[in-house]
């Protein structure tokens, strides 16, 4: 029994040793596989995020047997270019002995073919390596009658998003193409009342206020009664008017009777002529009295109703609105005695407003009457178009500026006088072959970029920008007509790119 126990312990110890050996063997094999894969396959460079074999000049080292090439990207003081060093068994050889070609396969199917020529101890590529340095690389080499080929990928500035993610993020995709760009000069301005559409209500007679129907901010219609005065002066003129009505009635009856008698040879011609003259004088007097009342704002209908109101309304004087508008001033109260020249109401038609524009002396050479302008209020988020209708002939001694004026339609009354605005004067309007919205432009390292779409992939594309009118930006180089790009919410892609920790190390 004791021997059996001893034998069992020996077997167990042997089993445990075998098991430990197996585990260690698996770990060693895995490590060997990783080393082999790293050395033979050549993983991504820091340009793409991983580690790869390096040559003595810090470039990517590609090997097959004893033959090796080191690919470096040189961009110190010159545009990026490939420089390739050639080695045999780790020792540099004359680059004239090797012939190399490199193909850069970019998204969208574009292939850059690069050939090389000897320059000192290395081979220099004949093309500039355009940004982004993101492509699949194919290297072809011939040396001592043998052909070599390597492939690797280099990725930067690239994001992958599914169509569902694009839609969920509200990313807008557009096709690059032409747009109209306006060269705009921005100047400060202020919304003002249209002075041609403001009336100050003056009673023109003295009296006591008996009724007030309108307050500040109230809308009024043309001919609407806004206040009533009790005026002795008006009563006197109405009484005079009524007197002349009676006198002319009497004069007309006398004239008609004298005319009839004269024609019947009963009365003398002298009496007839005297009655006609008396009628004419009364007609003149009535006309004068009528004009006085009309000048006070009474209508002919009001005059016709005077005889009916005699004795109870002769002192009543109604103040009426001269046109449709808004009450912007009120200085009148019931019971107040006012004079004939008192400025008691101001009514403004705000359906149009003026924009006073400050034009600096240095800009007078490019500002002209008739130019198209855009009026913007950043505070209220408003924008309106118009034309420069007036440019003052004088420059202020203190301000050294001239006054310009723009008429803006204001049917909803949102442009309020006193509001400060920015006035953009269009100097030039041209159509450019390629332009993108301002919101499409982002920055990536030292470049301005747009994100170009290739299926589910979005890649930064450095662009050279031209004219900018605040809405559209001209693209001089880097984006071609027909390419699909991110037009709105591109900042989301930039944020994702930042999270990915993109690097740029050749």
Phi, psi angles (nearest 5°) of residue 118:
-70, 135
- At 473 the pLDDT is 93
**Looking at 42-56, 215-229, 365-379, which range is the least confident one?**
42-56
Check if the beta carbon of residue 139 is closer than 8 Å to that of residue 69: yes
Q: How many Cβ atoms are within 10 Å of 140's Cβ, its own excluded?
A: 13
* pLDDT at residue 427 greater than cutoff 90: no
| Triad 186, 191, 197: Cα angle to 5° | 135
Q: Name the 3-class secondary structure at 365.
A: coil
- At 40 the pLDDT is 33
CA distances from 263 to 251, 269, 278 (A): 18, 9, 19
Share of the chain above pLDDT 90, in %: 52
CA-nearest of 333, 404, 311 to 363 is: 404
Check if the beta carbon of residue 484 is closer than 8 Å to that of residue 434: no
Check if the beta carbon of residue 241 is closer than 8 Å to that of residue 295: no
Share of the chain above pLDDT 70, in %: 88
- At 503 the pLDDT is 52
As a whole number, mean pLDDT of residues 390-400 equals: 89
Check if the beta carbon of residue 358 is closer than 8 Å to that of residue 383: no
CA-nearest of 345, 371, 388, 501 to 429 is: 371
* pLDDT at residue 506 greater than cutoff 60: no
Tokens of 383: 């924008």
| ω into 132 cis (within 30 of 0) | yes
- At 352 the pLDDT is 94
Helix (H) and strand (E) counts for the chain?
7, 31
Question: To which H or E segment does residue 278 belong?
Answer: helix 269-295
Ramachandran class of 108: left when φ > 0, alpha when ψ lies in -120 to 50, beta otherwise: left
Check if the beta carbon of residue 385 is closer than 8 Å to that of residue 373: yes
Q: How many Cβ atoms are within 10 Å of 404's Cβ, its own excluded?
A: 25
* pLDDT at residue 107 greater than cutoff 60: yes
Over residues 233-287, the pLDDT tens digits come to: 888 888 888 888 888 888 888 888 888 888 888 888 888 888 888 888 888 988 8
Q: What is the pTM of this model?
A: 0.52
- As a whole number of angstroms, the distance between CA 479 and CA 467 comes to 15
Confidence of residue 128 (pLDDT cuts 50, 70, 90): very high
First to last CA, the chain: 73
* pLDDT at residue 196 greater than cutoff 50: yes
* pLDDT at residue 373 greater than cutoff 80: yes
Strand partners, 137: 104, 152
As a whole number, mean pLDDT of residues 169-198 equals: 92
- At 47 the pLDDT is 37
Tokens of 157: 């500035």
* pLDDT at residue 14 greater than cutoff 70: no
Q: How many Cβ atoms are within 10 Å of 414's Cβ, its own excluded?
A: 14
Over residues 311-346, the pLDDT tens digits come to: 567 888 888 898 899 999 999 999 999 998 999 999
């Amino acid at each position: 029994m004791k021997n059996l126990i001893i034998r069992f312990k020996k077997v167990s110890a042997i089993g445990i040793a075998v098991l430990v050996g197996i585990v260690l063997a698996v770990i060693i094999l895995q490590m060997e596989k990783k080393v082999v894969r790293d050395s033979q396959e050549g993983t991504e460079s820091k340009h793409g995020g991983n580690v790869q074999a390096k040559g003595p000049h810090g470039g990517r080292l590609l090997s097959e047997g004893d033959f090796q090439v080191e690919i470096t990207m040189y961009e110190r003081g010159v545009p990026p270019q490939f420089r390739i060093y050639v080695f045999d068994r780790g020792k540099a050889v004359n680059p004239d002995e090797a012939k190399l070609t490199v193909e850069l396969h970019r998204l969208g199917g574009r292939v850059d073919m690069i050939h090389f020529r000897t320059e000192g101890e290395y081979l220099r590529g004949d093309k500039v390596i355009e940004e982004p340095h993101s492509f699949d690389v194919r290297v072809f080499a011939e040396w001592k009658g043998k052909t070599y080929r390597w492939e690797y990928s280099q990725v930067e500035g690239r994001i992958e998003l599914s169509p569902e993610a694009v839609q969920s993020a509200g990313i807008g995709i557009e096709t690059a193409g032409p747009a109209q760009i306006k060269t705009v000069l921005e100047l400060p301005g202020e919304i003002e009342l249209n002075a041609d559409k403001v009336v100050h209500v003056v009673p023109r007679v003295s009296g006591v206020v008996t009724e007030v129907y309108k307050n500040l901010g109230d809308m009024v219609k043309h001919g609407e009664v806004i206040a009533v005065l009790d005026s002795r002066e008006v009563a006197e003129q109405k009484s005079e008017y009524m007197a002349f009505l009676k006198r002319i009635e009497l004069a007309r009856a006398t004239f008609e009777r004298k005319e009839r008698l004269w024609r019947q040879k009963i009365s003398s011609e002298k009496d007839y002529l005297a009655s006609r003259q008396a009628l004419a004088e009364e007609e003149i007097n009535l006309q004068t009295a009528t004009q006085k009342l009309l000048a006070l704002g009474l209508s002919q209908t009001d005059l016709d109703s005077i005889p009916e109101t005699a004795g109870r309304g002769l002192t009543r004087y109604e103040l009426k609105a001269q046109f449709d508008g808004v009450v912007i001033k009120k200085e009148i109260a019931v019971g107040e005695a006012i004079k004939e020249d008192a400025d008691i109401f101001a009514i403004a038609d705000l359906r149009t407003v003026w924009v006073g524009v400050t034009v600096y002396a240095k800009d007078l050479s490019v500002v002209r009457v008739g130019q198209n302008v855009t009026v913007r209020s950043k505070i209220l988020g408003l924008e309106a178009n118009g034309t420069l209708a007036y440019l003052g002939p004088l420059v202020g001694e203190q301000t050294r500026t001239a006054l310009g004026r723009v008429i803006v339609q204001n049917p909803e009354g949102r442009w309020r006088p006193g509001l400060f605005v920015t006035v953009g004067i269009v100097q030039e309007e041209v159509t450019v072959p390629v332009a993108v919205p301002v919101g499409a432009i982002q920055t990536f390292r030292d470049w301005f970029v747009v994100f170009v779409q290739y299926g589910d992939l979005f890649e930064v594309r450095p662009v050279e920008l031209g004219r900018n009118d605040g809405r559209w930006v001209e693209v001089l180089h880097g984006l071609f007509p027909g390419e699909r790009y991110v037009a709105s919410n591109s900042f989301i892609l930039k944020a994702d790119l930042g999270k990915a920790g993109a690097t740029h190390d050749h």
